[in-house]
Chain A
Amino acid sequence: GDSVTQMEGPVTLSEEAFLTINCTYTATGYPSLFWYVQYPGEGLQLLLKATKADDKGSNKGFEATYRKETTSFHLEKGSVQVSDSAVYFCALRGSSGSARQLTFGSGTQLTVLP
Chain B
Amino acid sequence: GAVVSQHPSWVICKSGTSVKIECRSLDFQATTMFWYRQFPKQSLMLMATSNEGSKATYEQGVEKDKFLINHASLTLSTLTVTSAHPEDSSFYICSASPYSNQPQHFGDGTRLSIL
Contacts and interface: CB of A to CB of B under 8 A. Distances in A.
B54 interface: no
A49 B49 contact: no
A73 interface: no
A39 B107 CA distance: 13
Q: Which of A43, A44, A102, A109 has the most CB of B within 10 A?
A: A43
A106 B104 contact: no
Interface stretch (B11-19, B36-44, B63-71, B81-89): B36-44
Interface residues on B, range: 20 to 34
Contacts of B101: 99
A101 B49 contact: yes
Q: Which of B43, B105, B108 has the most CB of A within 10 A?
A: B43
A46 B43 contact: no
A105 B43 contact: yes
A101 B34 contact: yes
Interface residues of A, number: 20
A46 B109 CA distance: 15
B44 A104 contact: yes
Interface in A100-114: 100-102, 104-107, 109
B105 A107 contact: no
Contacts of A99: 100-101
B106 A98 contact: no
B6 interface: yes
Given A44-B44, A104-B44, 17 more contacts: A41-B111, A43-B4, A43-B106, A43-B107, A43-B109, A44-B106, A46-B103, A46-B104, A46-B105, A89-B43, A89-B44, A99-B101, A100-B32, A100-B97, A101-B34, A101-B46, A109-B41
